[in-house]
Chain A
Amino acid sequence: MQDIKQFVESGQIARFPGGIHPPERKQPASEQPLRRIPYANELILPLRQHIGVSGQCTVREGDHVLKGQPLTDAVLHQGLPLHAPTSGTVKAIEQRPMSHASGLPEQAIVISPDGHDQWRERQPLPDYQQRDKAELLDIIQAAGVAGLGGAGFPTSQKLAQQKPVSYLIINGVECEPYICADDRLMREHARDIVLGMRILAYITGADKTLLAIEDNKPEAIASMHQAISEYSDIELRVVPTKYPSGGEKQLIQLLTGHEVPSKQLPIEMGVIMQNVGTAFAVKEAVIDDKPLIERVVTLTGECIEHPGNVWAPLGTPVDALLDFAGFKPEQQQRVIMGGPMMGFTLPITAVPVIKTTNCILVPSTEELPPPGDEMACIRCGACAEVCPASLQPQQLQWLAKAKDYPALEDNNLFDCIECGACAFVCPSEIPLVHYYRQAKSQIRNQAREQAKAELAKQRFEARQARLEREKEERLERHRKAAEARKQMQQQKAQDAPEQESNNDGKSSAVAAAIARAKAKKAAQEGGSAGSEASDEATTQPRPAQDKSAAVAAAIARAKKKKQARDQEDKQ
């Protein structure tokens, strides 16, 4: 910790291992001022925009929404809400292809703008210092601000770490070729970014804010330098141009002289990093009450007539962006989302701009030739020299091909930041990063399967136990029933000899019945006081007798029974 402090205070810039110097190609896009793109016919907002859980949809088809109105509800601070980029109606909530290399469909809210661009009620908050930090975090969360540099991690979650922060690093490095969205933002909105930095510093309680910019952006450096001049606790650090200096761990190493340990977060070192775009979004969210509904996207490549940076409302289809910039496709045109190193070729262009989309690259075949055929690894070691994470790319590649997943984890595959430097220098044109991505998802899948197997095992065992228990219970019931039967039989056997004397139980009832029958017979034979009607009724019953006769007969029967009983008693 002390070492880090000393290093940072000295103002030095360290080095990180590896790295490459690909052609930058930031011009001509970086020289065009930011433009606004008209709203597309429909804005597609996938429910999931970033790592983590997607929110619960709070609007229905046909609803009218206002600009900035939340469309989803974050579940327990896990995810981020999504907002309407402009006013309009919810046209559909349906499956649309997502902005992912797979192009798989995903649930999305489709909005057709009404052209009024009517805002919801806003509550600007210029005096954020009067507010509690937790309240500001809630505002940032409710505004849906995600890290705009790369993975799109929810900013409020990153800021909510309960650990002391010495340095807040604002990342304006933007090291990937072609991309110049942050560059343009810094040139044109330096003051807003600095305000955002102040808010971030206030929330994190950082002692000092370091703003890092690569030395190939002199205009951005000049404009930011001027904007921060009035603040003594913000320092500008110009880092030499090298790819991937903008990686979180790489930039921390450059500025602090210390490597972020494997499987640890920068916060353990007392450092937190945010992108300049995120700082801008935080300022808009807190001070202007404007949620994250648009972002700067670089439109570049030789197959675009007017390259430049645009403010793209989230949900704008890539098609619309291409039309706006003058798309002149060649045969088998590739459209890449992201930069040439870390981006991916889009399977279809109907996908929307999401919170993490920083660039749409439409290269011609000459400037970015499609990958050649993969050749065998010649073990030249060039990849190991350029790896910024000090891994052994060739080793990882062999292990990935052999599907030796435990060994891949031992070789720290998960420290790979997928920067693509190894694939860039590979003379055999091996798509190394693809192998790593494949292996990573395979390992994650296996972990999922493992968890599922464990669950299945538990359920199977629970079922076995239940079946066993039921069987035992059944047996127990059978045993008890058998026992009861046995007991009864025994009792019967005991009862038989003393039938006469014993007056309770079944046998006595039988004896009584026999006695009654005997008495009846005796009564009939005796012919004592029996009426004619009763005799008729008992000996020859007539089906078609009238009711009164039947009643009379019944009474007579009852009397006779009583008589018989009396007689029995007398006996």
Chain B
Amino acid sequence: MSFVVGLIAIGALALIFGLILGFAAIKFKVESDPIVDQIDEILPQTQCGQCGYPGCRPYAEAIANGDEINKCPPGGETTIKKLADLMGVEAKPLDAAHGEESVKKVAIIREDECIGCTKCIQACPVDAILGAAKQMHTVIEHECTGCDLCVEPCPVDCIDMVEVEAKPETWQWNLDSVKQNIHKADTIPVKLVE
């Protein structure tokens, strides 16, 4: 008798918990893979495609599916380190096949040479180029991610990638330069006063 009671009790419990779990699965359903979002968060969002995927999110999905983490040149070392931490893998040096980590750049259109073909506008992944057909185009500098994608389609080669100028806010205390300044006479006019 007690055996039957036990069986019924366990069965009932299993049913109740099953219902709760089933309810929770519907109620708290996660739409997308959270790991993809987390990876996407780390990627620099230049949407440059240097990794071989069409944008940062596709690459994030690829990493989630086991692709290498060292294919993002704009992110560079810091991004690789963060990805390694997140994915629990060893940090690797940047894969040179996808490009090298370089200084921050911004696209500048030589405006008098622009013929207004709109090809760069179509190429820009973040809509940072302003213009219309047969009208001069220009780059909204602070929206430009420096992804390089507009340079190739330009039929008259009027787009330059220019290094972002250092501003006092972004300037780095560079130890080497501080030391050099103290010992090198030509970089520091203070020493020329005699």
Find out whether the CB atom of B128 lies under 8 angstroms from the CB atom of A441: no
User: Which chain B residues numbered 137 to 190 have a C-beta less than 8 Å away from chain A?
Assistant: 143, 145, 166-175, 178-179, 181-183, 185, 187-190
Please report the C-alpha to C-alpha distance between residue A437 and residue B128 in the assembled complex, in whole angstroms: 33
Say if the beta carbon of B86 comes within 8 Å of chain A.
Answer: no
Say if the beta carbon of B100 comes within 8 Å of chain A.
Answer: no
Kindly identify which residue among A332, A335, A459 contacts B183, using a CB–CB cutoff of 8 Å. Answer: A332
Find out whether the CB atom of B44 lies under 8 angstroms from the CB atom of A449: yes
Kindly identify which residue among A327, A335, A347, A459 contacts B127, using a CB–CB cutoff of 8 Å. Answer: A459
Say if the beta carbon of B118 comes within 8 Å of chain A.
Answer: no
Find out whether the CB atom of B126 lies under 8 angstroms from the CB atom of A456: yes
- Beyond A332-B182, A459-B143, whether A349 also contacts B170 by CB under 8 A is no
- B52, chain A: closest CB distance, angstroms: 17
In the complex, per-residue mask of A316-336: 1 if CB is within 8 Å of any chain B CB, else 0: 000000000001010111110
| 6 cross-chain pairs, A with B, having the tightest CB-CB distances, nearest first | A453-B45, A459-B126, A456-B45, A457-B45, A437-B173, A102-B171
Please report the C-alpha to C-alpha distance between residue A334 and residue B185 in the assembled complex, in whole angstroms: 11
- B60, chain A: closest CB distance, angstroms: 11
Say if the beta carbon of B116 comes within 8 Å of chain A.
Answer: no
Find out whether the CB atom of B78 lies under 8 angstroms from the CB atom of A460: no
Kindly identify which residue among A98, A434, A463 contacts B178, using a CB–CB cutoff of 8 Å. Answer: A434
- B173, chain A: closest CB distance, angstroms: 4
- B152, chain A: closest CB distance, angstroms: 18
Q: What 18 new A-B contacts, CB under 8 Å, besides A349-B190, A460-B55?
A: A100-B168, A102-B171, A104-B167, A329-B191, A333-B190, A334-B182, A345-B182, A348-B188, A349-B189, A445-B172, A449-B44, A453-B43, A453-B45, A457-B56, A460-B47, A460-B56, A462-B127, A463-B125
Say if the beta carbon of A486 comes within 8 Å of chain B.
Answer: no
- B37, chain A: closest CB distance, angstroms: 11
Say if the beta carbon of A431 comes within 8 Å of chain B.
Answer: yes
Chain B residues bordering chain A, tally (CB within 8 A): 38
Dominant SS among interface residues on chain B: loop
Say if the beta carbon of B33 comes within 8 Å of chain A.
Answer: no
Q: Which residues on B sit within 8 Å (CB–CB) of A437?
A: 173
Find out whether the CB atom of B182 lies under 8 angstroms from the CB atom of A104: no
Please report the C-alpha to C-alpha distance between residue A441 and residue B169 in the assembled complex, in whole angstroms: 8
- A304, chain B: closest CB distance, angstroms: 13
Find out whether the CB atom of A329 lies under 8 angstroms from the CB atom of B182: no
Q: Which residues on B sit within 8 Å (CB–CB) of A350?
A: 189
Say if the beta carbon of A505 comes within 8 Å of chain B.
Answer: no
Say if the beta carbon of B70 comes within 8 Å of chain A.
Answer: no
Say if the beta carbon of B50 comes within 8 Å of chain A.
Answer: no
Find out whether the CB atom of A334 lies under 8 angstroms from the CB atom of B145: no
Interface residues of B (CB under 8 A from A): 40, 43-47, 55-56, 78, 125-128, 143, 145, 166-175, 178-179, 181-183, 185, 187-191, 193-194
- Beyond A335-B190, A348-B188, whether A441 also contacts B182 by CB under 8 A is no
Please report the C-alpha to C-alpha distance between residue A102 and residue B166 in the assembled complex, in whole angstroms: 10
Q: Which residues on B sit within 8 Å (CB–CB) of A332?
A: 182-183, 185, 191
Please report the C-alpha to C-alpha distance between residue A345 and residue B183 in the assembled complex, in whole angstroms: 12
Q: Which residues on B sit within 8 Å (CB–CB) of A441?
A: 170-173
Residue of A nearest to B128 (CB): A459
- Give 5 CB contacts A-B under 8 Å: A329-B191, A334-B182, A348-B188, A441-B172, A453-B46
Residue of A nearest to B43 (CB): A453
Find out whether the CB atom of B193 lies under 8 angstroms from the CB atom of A347: no
Q: Which residues on B sit within 8 Å (CB–CB) of A347?
A: 181, 187-190
User: Which chain A residues numbered 275 to 314 have a C-beta less than 8 Å away from chain B?
Assistant: none
Find out whether the CB atom of B47 lies under 8 angstroms from the CB atom of A348: no
Residue of A nearest to B144 (CB): A456
Please report the C-alpha to C-alpha distance between residue A370 and residue B183 in the assembled complex, in whole angstroms: 9
Q: Which residues on A sit within 8 Å (CB–CB) of B172?
A: 438, 441-442, 445
Interface residues of A (CB under 8 A from B): 48, 98, 100-102, 104, 106, 327, 329, 331-335, 345-350, 370-371, 403, 431, 434-435, 437-438, 441-442, 444-446, 448-449, 452-457, 459-460, 462-463
- B86, chain A: closest CB distance, angstroms: 12
Please report the C-alpha to C-alpha distance between residue A327 and residue B173 in the assembled complex, in whole angstroms: 28
Residue of B nearest to A464 (CB): B55
Kindly identify which residue among B56, B170, B181, B188 contacts A448, using a CB–CB cutoff of 8 Å. Answer: B170
Residue of A nearest to B193 (CB): A329
Q: Which residues on B sit within 8 Å (CB–CB) of A370?
A: 182-183
Please report the C-alpha to C-alpha distance between residue A212 and residue B98 in the assembled complex, in whole angstroms: 61
Find out whether the CB atom of A333 lies under 8 angstroms from the CB atom of B173: no
Find out whether the CB atom of A431 lies under 8 angstroms from the CB atom of B168: no
Find out whether the CB atom of A348 lies under 8 angstroms from the CB atom of B190: yes
Find out whether the CB atom of A434 lies under 8 angstroms from the CB atom of B175: yes
- From B78, B175, B187, B190, name the one whose CB has the most chain A CB atoms within 10 angstroms: B190
Residue of B nearest to A444 (CB): B169
Please report the C-alpha to C-alpha distance between residue A229 and residue B53 in the assembled complex, in whole angstroms: 76
Please report the C-alpha to C-alpha distance between residue A331 and residue B56 in the assembled complex, in whole angstroms: 54
Please report the C-alpha to C-alpha distance between residue A558 and residue B43 in the assembled complex, in whole angstroms: 79
Q: Which residues on B sit within 8 Å (CB–CB) of A331?
A: 191
Find out whether the CB atom of B193 lies under 8 angstroms from the CB atom of A333: yes
- B48, chain A: closest CB distance, angstroms: 10
Residue of A nearest to B125 (CB): A460
Q: Which residues on A sit within 8 Å (CB–CB) of B175?
A: 431, 434-435, 438
Please report the C-alpha to C-alpha distance between residue A48 and residue B191 in the assembled complex, in whole angstroms: 27
Kindly identify which residue among A48, A345, A456 contacts B181, using a CB–CB cutoff of 8 Å. Answer: A345
Kindly identify which residue among A102, A345, A462 contacts B168, using a CB–CB cutoff of 8 Å. Answer: A102
Q: Which residues on A sit within 8 Å (CB–CB) of B179?
A: 371
